Chains A and B, each alone.
Chain A
């Protein structure tokens, strides 16, 4: 087993299709082929590189053939334990149990923003809204510029502030008949305004 991530060597992501892997391999071979470096002081380096590429390609292909598209090397800086694209598809198809199992297999120290977003999506599909809100919040904090994570998080914030889809059409006014005091309504409005501002890149209430 190499000490480096085989996907990194070929310059592709673990989500890459078989065709993409083959294409990347061919390009790498063209680049480092020993014929190109005849009578060149770099020929030794190129040979080493070539061996590395072959090894990486074999490893990826073997892994795919044996059906294991998840693996763990334990080197720092990489968290390709699970194919997040596949998890996304599982969630979309409603296969929440498998998606959750795959996500849980990712060790805690290599969970990135996408992991938290997907975990939130799993909870949301199950109707576990409290947990979903928590995970979306973490995802949005880890990657504040990701529009997908922000949209999910803002929607939860709006709902937890008391927003109900369609309530505007009932009795003409939004939350006009809510049985709370006016102060809490004002707070809710401010919170929603804050969410909107944050969506646009600004911030109305700096602390949240």
Chain B
């Protein structure tokens, strides 16, 4: 969806990295089958994390083999194949991408509107297939999307409220990973905090752009940031960063509590890397303005 949830590669062992990459490539192949060739372009690291959590919670082992693909025509890549754990993340991602694009059509700039509309058309078949398989998830996300538009129109200054719809979407996505009721609520809380992290990080990433365009961004409404338009002063930006750090740390602290309670066994080292190092690393990059929006969904 955004690409913020990713491993910090320098601290992955080679075997962990290979599994991570094989799941990424396996998802891409699965998308071609399940939601159409065009959907492969929407592949993100967030999905890889969702797939890995799915496999960890349901204890699904992976089998991988070397395969060719259009993106890497020369060297064969390790791909996870024949894995039930890949199916739900592909459907969930198709639904999430659909609503993200519809949001772009509704309130993006002229260029964004055009691109979003074209992309939506190209992906509509895959989305419809996914909706058919996960009607409940689709409903929940549609409902939260409506609330998000409502809160944006209200220009709410409360960050917790602004986060709520995104967080609830992720809550819905993650709670469906298990059939066990207790686990569902724990996974839901885990997903909720992850959604908060994504929202806050994205808001910080967009804060300068939103200031220029006059778009709603809750971070522009905190104390100490002038209500007038124009460039953000560096003092104001520092204030926003401090505010975000506080909010992200609170969120990650709670995320870690849920993660420990879930106590997954498989893929633990890679999941630990993402939760304890990867998320903080991405936030640091965003803070320094070094997180490239264009490259973030590319594999390397």
A contact set with B: CB distance below 8 Å: 123, 127-131, 133, 156, 158-167, 169-171, 177-180
Q: Please give, as numbers and ranges, the residues of chain B lying within 8 Å of A167 by CB-CB distance.
A: 256, 276
CB–CB A165/B160 < 8 A: no
- Closest-CB distance, B297 to chain A (whole angstroms): 21
CA distance A128 to B167 in the complex (A): 10
- Closest-CB distance, A148 to chain B (whole angstroms): 18
Q: A158-B253, A166-B259 are in contact. Are A127 and B167 (CB under 8 A)?
A: yes
Q: Please give, as numbers and ranges, the residues of chain B lying within 8 Å of A170 by CB-CB distance.
A: 272-273, 276-277
Q: Among B254, B255, B259, find the residue whose CB has the most chain A CB atoms closer than 10 A.
A: B254
- Closest-CB distance, A93 to chain B (whole angstroms): 13
Q: A179-B281, A179-B284 are in contact. Are A165 and B257 (CB under 8 A)?
A: yes
Which residues between 276 and 300 of chain B lie within 8 Å of chain A, taking CB atoms?
276-277, 280-281, 284
B contact set with A: CB distance below 8 Å: 8, 11, 158-161, 164, 167, 189, 192-193, 196, 246-247, 249-257, 259-260, 272-273, 275-277, 280-281, 284
- From B167, B246, B259, give the contact of A160 (CB < 8 A): B246
Q: Please give, as numbers and ranges, the residues of chain B lying within 8 Å of A128 by CB-CB distance.
A: 160-161, 164
9 contacting pairs across A/B (C-beta < 8 A): A127-B189, A128-B161, A156-B250, A158-B253, A159-B249, A159-B250, A160-B246, A164-B276, A171-B277
Q: Please give, as numbers and ranges, the residues of chain B lying within 8 Å of A130 by CB-CB distance.
A: 158-160, 246-247, 250
CB–CB A129/B247 < 8 A: yes
- From B159, B196, B253, B277, give the contact of A163 (CB < 8 A): B253
- Closest-CB distance, A45 to chain B (whole angstroms): 55
CA distance A167 to B159 in the complex (A): 26
CA distance A133 to B254 in the complex (A): 12
CA distance A161 to B280 in the complex (A): 13
Q: A177-B277, A179-B280, A179-B284 are in contact. Are A165 and B253 (CB under 8 A)?
A: yes
- Closest-CB distance, A3 to chain B (whole angstroms): 40
CB–CB A165/B284 < 8 A: no
CA distance A131 to B161 in the complex (A): 10
- Closest-CB distance, A135 to chain B (whole angstroms): 11
CA distance A158 to B252 in the complex (A): 11
CA distance A160 to B246 in the complex (A): 5
CB–CB A127/B252 < 8 A: no
